[in-house]
Structure 1
Amino acid sequence: MKKVPLARTIFKLHSWLGLVTGIFLILLGLSGSVLVFRTELDHFFNRKLLHGLPTGDSGKDQVLKRCYERITNSYPNLDGIAWVNPDAGPGDAYNFRIYFNDTHLLTYDLALISFDPATGKILREGPASDFTPSFIEWLFQFHFSFQLGIPGAALTAIFGITMLLSLLTGAVVYRKMLLKVLTFQIKFNTKNWRTISSDLHRTIGVWSLLLNSVIFFTGFWMNLFAFKEKTWKNELVATKPNTKILISPDRMYRQALLTMPELEPTYVYLPTQPERKFEVRGYEKGQWKLWGSGNSVRVNQQTGEIIQVIRIVDKPFWERVEATFFPLHVGNYGGIIVKILYVIIGLTPGLLSVTGFLLWWRRVKK
């Protein structure tokens, strides 16, 4: 039997990986590009609804408590609540993510609700599986689960690995061209659509190789939870009735900031189940955002006692490395230039998919 050269095997693997994941490359790449400016886009499209609200002192010291009670009264069986914009300025709405469980595997149970902090009025409300509260929130859930719940999250992780393998096999296929492409030694051939697609595929693949590899790997890693048996089992078990906190969340929030004055909060978790704890997470002042918002203060919501203070610099080495995965995936660590770069990189998987398909189609026709 004639032995097939390894290079040819790798080339075939690269081709089939690209064909199988093509449509998903396009969908994940496009949605990822949009989500780079997720917060900015939500602010822009909802500026009249969520910004420029009248400010007032009525109930200002108990605003979190008022929102918490409104949510827990409306949703009696919750996994938890998160205040996702504690950096909101005067006149800005307070946005809360709701974690619930409808016991269906094919739905990822998140919802969004926004309040006018001065009056307690609900400005928008709805599950992230609908466009009603926010298209950006729907797109965020689609990006990591295809709106297919835990199986969708597992599928996204699998495609993260197949995309990474496609890139690495492509790097092997074009290994002799890598340096030449990076040093602009290869001229772009515009003779016909075949040469254009070939040169585009090679050039885009080489220039986006490193960053796409990082994005695909970190996306896979963050969705590893979808392969745990416990995750699937918990999704099918109805959440217990809420156990409401006894201490005012406003008081615990102020207490957490006094305990860690250098903390710039980005996320506040308000528990609804007794085994969870009130937690404020964020960056330390002056910290490079690449290291993630892994600093936190945890408070016992039934007693008000500070039970844990965590600083990213004190964590074990691997946990500090792992904390960089989310910033590396979303591109929020280097200002507007890095974000624009991530938008461009997010478009490259789709371009690679299209040009790769054209090259495959040319071979099939031959």
Structure 2
Amino acid sequence: MRALLVILHRYVGLAIAGFLVIAGLTGSIVAFQSELDAWLNPSLFHIERTGQSLSPSRLAKAIEHADPAVEIFTLVFPSAPGESAQAFVGSRGGDTALAYDQLFVDPGTGAILGRRMNGVFGLDRLRLIPFLYRLHSSLTMPGNWGAWLMGGIALAWMFDCFAGFALTLPRGRPFWKKWKLAWTIKRGAGPYRLNLDLHRACGLWLLAILFLLALSGVSLNLNSELFRPVLSALLPTSPRIWDQPAPPTAPPMTLDWNDALAKAKGEAARRHWDHPVAMIYAARAQGFYGIRFGRPHQAGFGASTIFVSAADGHILSVEEAGAGKAGDMIAGLMLPVHSGQVAGLPGRILICVTGLVVAMLSITGVYIWWRKRASRSSRRRANRRPAAIARSGALDAAQ
């Protein structure tokens, strides 16, 4: 069994090492993406004046008046005075391609502060952080291919965590005394031993976090394909509004942004929610609005969402953070766990550091494999040399 685990850990680790280096390094940055993006682009994220913000409908009209070719899908509201609002847009009717899909807006006047295409390649300050986020989540591959690939890597990483843990368990006695060595890093050791200790000890100390990162990665990238079906088979889980197929033709959006917000706020007040509105998005193909309540980087289960019919304004569904059935609560925890927001700022710092450790574990794993392979090759060459000499001597004697 141990020999099989060695082979699995070795070759699964080698196969996913490069991807984990990318995911780990970019994940360390993504843990603070909003702060870093605002620091790099202050003219987009900050405004000098503060005052009354426009209503969502007036803000949407101001944006669409500035560029009639756009259709707004999401409005993101400022979380504090002096911050800009954001809008994510698409081409009205889908006929013409836009050079941007994200706008930054003065929430008090509707003036456009800037535009960009979110997630496209770019190392300049405008595009860097969104590009790194997309690289982290999907390797910038088109469609769902990148998400599926990273989800498969996360799944392999989950099982590799178990294999790596099992290989640290000593085979002889005294068990605890021998196993204690696996948790430590020997001082003054040579390069090979240092890499081995770093790989083994850091993997053990952060095993729970590494496993949760892998599990939540599966959830975020293979949610409907794998995570949700397995979760629903194991635990009671409520159906989601997104599980319903979209109608053959997009329903008319009778309600405007203000009406949808008013309906959602009424439902939130009935449930005694005290969180501010973070964003509104229009699911035009399905015919409803989603209104998300919560503060940025809020510790705990994350944001809650109320879904309002765009046809008649009735409440279609409510996804309350930390509520619902057991499966709902676990599913709702996946994003806060993956981002570290479940524990607030300390959790995000931990995820940032863990991302660097993930990259280190991958690099040290490859180094350990390379050293062992070089050592085995050297031994084989050494074993073949006496045999070759013997054969040469036998030939000489025969001649």
Deviation, 1:299, is 2.2
- Letter paired with 2:199: H
Is 1:303 the counterpart of 2:315? The answer is no
Q: Which moved more, 1:30-39 or 1:64-73?
A: 64-73
Tell me the residue number matched to 1:278.
Answer: 289
Counterparts of residues 270-349 of structure 1 (less than 5 Å): 270-273=282-285, 275-283=286-294, 289-293=299-303, 295-312=304-321, 315-349=324-358
2:300–2:342 contact (8 Å) kept in structure 1:
yes
Tell me the residue number matched to 2:230.
Answer: none
- Letter paired with 1:95: Q
SS at match of 1:128: coil
Q: Distance in 2 between matches of 1:164 and 1:58?
A: 46
Tell me the residue number matched to 1:202.
Answer: 200
Is 1:159 the counterpart of 2:153? The answer is yes
Q: Distance in 2 between matches of 1:49 and 1:101?
A: 24
Deviation, 1:52, is 2.8
Deviation, 1:210, is 0.9
Q: Distance in 1 between matches of 2:373 and 2:13?
A: 15
SS at match of 1:334: helix
Q: Which moved more, 1:314-323 or 1:301-310?
A: 301-310
Q: Which moved more, 1:93-102 or 1:316-325?
A: 93-102
- Letter paired with 1:41: L
- Letter paired with 1:253: L
Distance change in 2, residues 1:62/1:341 (3 Å) = same
Deviation, 1:164, is 1.8
Q: Distance in 2 between matches of 1:99 and 1:357?
A: 43
Q: Distance in 1 between matches of 2:59 and 2:164?
A: 51
Counterparts of residues 83-98 of structure 1 (less than 5 Å): 83-84=75-76, 86-98=77-89
Tell me the residue number matched to 2:229.
Answer: none
Q: Distance in 2 between matches of 1:192 and 1:146?
A: 36
Across the aligned residues of Structure 1 and Structure 2, the Cα RMSD in angstroms comes to 3.5
Percent identity among equivalent residues? Answer: 22
1:81–1:97 contact (8 Å) kept in structure 2:
yes
Q: State the Cα deviation string for residues 164-205 of structure 1 (Å, max 9, x = none).
A: 222211111112399667799745142311111111111111
Deviation, 1:257, is 1.8
Q: Distance in 1 between matches of 2:289 and 2:254?
A: 11
TM-score normalized by the length of structure 1: 0.80
2:12–2:156 contact (8 Å) kept in structure 1:
yes
1:157–1:220 contact (8 Å) kept in structure 2:
yes
Counterparts of residues 1-366 of structure 1 (less than 5 Å): 6-55=1-50, 57=52, 59=54, 62-66=57-61, 69-70=64-65, 73-75=68-70, 81-84=73-76, 86-98=77-89, 111-130=101-120, 131=122, 134-149=127-142, 150-176=144-170, 186=184, 188-225=186-223, 227=225, 245-261=253-269, 262-264=273-275, 265-273=277-285, 275-283=286-294, 289-293=299-303, 295-312=304-321, 315-366=324-375
Q: State the Cα deviation string for residues 327-365 of structure 1 (Å, max 9, x = none).
A: 111101222222111111111121111111111111111
TM-score normalized by the length of structure 2: 0.74
Q: Distance in 1 between matches of 2:153 and 2:208?
A: 17
Q: Distance in 2 between matches of 1:39 and 1:312?
A: 22
Q: Distance in 2 between matches of 1:346 and 1:256?
A: 37
Q: Distance in 2 between matches of 1:13 and 1:102?
A: 50
1:189–1:195 contact (8 Å) kept in structure 2:
no
Deviation, 1:217, is 1.1
Q: State the Cα deviation string for residues 3-42 of structure 1 (Å, max 9, x = none).
A: xxx2122112111111111111100001111111112112
Structure 2 gap ranges (5+): 95-99, 227-247, 376-399
1:182–1:207 contact (8 Å) kept in structure 2:
no
1:289–1:333 contact (8 Å) kept in structure 2:
yes
- Letter paired with 2:268: M
Q: Distance in 2 between matches of 1:25 and 1:49?
A: 32
Q: Which has the higher contact order (CA 8 A, sep 6+)?
A: 1
1:158–1:220 contact (8 Å) kept in structure 2:
yes
Q: Distance in 2 between matches of 1:68 and 1:245?
A: 18
1:257–1:263 contact (8 Å) kept in structure 2:
no
Number of residue pairs the alignment of both structures matches: 337
Distance change in 2, residues 1:184/1:354 (3 Å) = closer
Q: Distance in 1 between matches of 2:147 and 2:10?
A: 25
Deviation, 1:74, is 2.3
- Letter paired with 2:279: Y
Deviation, 1:271, is 3.4
